[in-house]
Structure 1
Amino acid sequence: MNEAKRILVGVSGGIAAYKAAELVRLLRKQGAEVRVAMTEAAVRFVTPLTFQALSGNAVHCDLLDAESENAMDHISLARWADVMLIAPATANLIAKLSHGLADDLLTTLYLAATCPVYVAPAMNQAMWAKPVTQENVATLLRHGVQLIGPAQGEQACGETGVGRMSEPQEICAALFKEPADLCLKGLQVLISAGPTREPLDPVRYITNRSSGKMGYALAEAARNAGATVTLVSGPTQLPPPGNIELVRVETAAEMYAAVIARAPASDIYIGAAAVADYTPTVMQPEKIKKQGEHVTLELQKTRDILAEVAALSRRPFTVGFAAETIDLEAYALDKLVRKNLDMIAANWVGQTQGGFDSEHNALEVYWKGGSQTLAMTGKKRLAELLIGLIAERLRVKAPAS
């Protein structure tokens, strides 16, 4: 990204538009050439003159500008840019982009752009949580748009929650962050992903909502960082990543056997799978027939893969995941200590902000004596950030090992 010096900043009409002025200043400080396109609503919050002064270039606001060369700003600007960044991106603008509407300069620029596009959402927390907004965001992610934020915190309306635009420094860092490079070069990385299925009878099983997307994204990110990757996967609908070893399993017992057999030879183990905590004591050989108003199933606890990997005499750097519905930090820190993990990545589930079945997510990452927030973004980008953080913590731990 550092090689991309021409950045087209799109500003839409939300109160967070004032942050875009500082963002432009920071981008210029990084050595980028910046041009700004604004919606009609955006100019009601911050004047074009402000962005002209900060960018050193004329600001573009009108789709049909007779003074522009050939009146084709949407084509010339789109071709000029190495990167397009829309910050803030309101719920209305995201809806337009996801449906391919082009009724002003900014939305037309998006359709004409062939460069990477980043979007920094900014809206009220209830608007962000609305299912239709999440569907629109998921559509943009499928189209290759990369999400930066939104962040959680106090909003201009006085409410608190996920939806505020990420700070300019965070957006700038995300744009200019070096890729994972080869920070895991020469290392063996073992990742478990997806759900498990615990059979009740020949046609039924107990499972969960895990899609495996995060684990698969981590496998790709680790591979791109130079690692030799083994992915132990429960049943998913995802295409297997290239250039990795894929081990398919179905039950918690099969996943346990596959992971424990490979963990001692691994440098890093990332337990991203949603492994069943309990499995039926007996699998019935024939389909269980409907009988009575109630049925009782006897379940037994499955083996704790994460804890047993962390307890190995020759243990890898062990990273766990915690998907929680309440008290995220408390449960994550308890799991970190109780299972003797090196790091744990925790995320909310049962909410509309991300997690299971979603194309994007956010993580709170904890280790002994430290933590870091990885803001809401696409799972592929999130995986790159987490792999970079794991590599960093591994380097810190290495001298003492």
Structure 2
Amino acid sequence: MVKISGSTFIIGHLGHGNAGDDAILLSFLLYLSNNLNESLDLTIFAPNSYLRYQLGNLKNLNIHFVQSYLDFFKHLIVSKNIVLNGGDYLDDYGSIQKRLNTYLKFVMISTITSLFRNDFLIINSGFRIRSTFGSVMTRFILRWVSRISVRDSESLSSLNQISNIDIYEGFDTAVLLDTYYDDYMHSLSYEMRKGHTAKIGVSITPYHQNFFGNPQKDRLFAKKTAEFLDYIISKYPTIELYLISFNMSNHMGDMKIINMVLYYMKTRGFDRVRIIQYNGKLVEFLSKLSLLNGIICSKYHSIVFSYLLSKPILIFPYHPKCLALAKMIEVCDESILECNESNHTNFLLSFDRFLKMPGKYIPALEIMKAKKKAEEGIRWCL
């Protein structure tokens, strides 16, 4: 059981159409609902309202959503507990402007919580420290954090090098999702159920735009990805490809680069290329992923969901957090692909081995061990 009490304000990148962030929030709320002895008042900052329709009736939780920044600052001041759950929010990675904006935002949040003597709780989050600037800023923010758990061993090691506070190594909270949604397998679409072809999911994300503000590199990546997919469609006539959009945001979403890939593809096998798009309904989204035979992952939570569903995976580790997660779930060395847009031959050889020996590409870490670590990471902070 957890012992948190008093008004609680949940912050983060919530309500922006990202399946991973939404899964973290929902898993956390479901865990609280099932492990509280008394009711808890929760306020969630989420600019869009679609999240509230996924929650259903959660016992022991009185949930309120706020959308304006005026309400954000109000609840930052008056709430007893400020909770940041999941994500690599303090991320020393990407363009200088991106990192500066991130650190300044959390310096402000941590300063306000300290001035008003609120508890600032960071739960199952990730930390990447790659520069002196990132080290100094992270150390300052951690001075005002009451309790903290991290989601991978590399984050733990990074923080231990710059801070003396007690830190617990948990796991990404989203791994708890199916503990409470054991019926999501039932909402399967007929379109995916029919036939006996191998269904391979492909996670594609505008990495260069989102982290470095460079859409031109994303365009080059889309062209190279289109070449890979053309080859797969032509060589393997029994394969269907499912391009997966995990983020439905207009600004940072995946559909723009997916549409670029489709534009550059030259194959005639478009009847074997389809899209799975997150639309704010996690149960429906997971049910479709559950029917795939294997997934080529780029986004962090494409790896988490694939692991949750025991799928064979290939990983393009575009971000250091993806490599950290791959290490945590004990993938084989062959699962890790080089992020080199020109390395056409190596990718195709890896994909061929992936099809011939799919069992080898299923992560080795027992799912219950990951769930236990995620739950312990929550309890450590609460």
How does the TM-score come out when normalised to structure 2?
0.30
Greater radius of gyration (CA): 1
Higher strand share: 1
Q: Which has the higher contact order (CA 8 A, sep 6+)?
A: 2
How does the TM-score come out when normalised to structure 1?
0.29
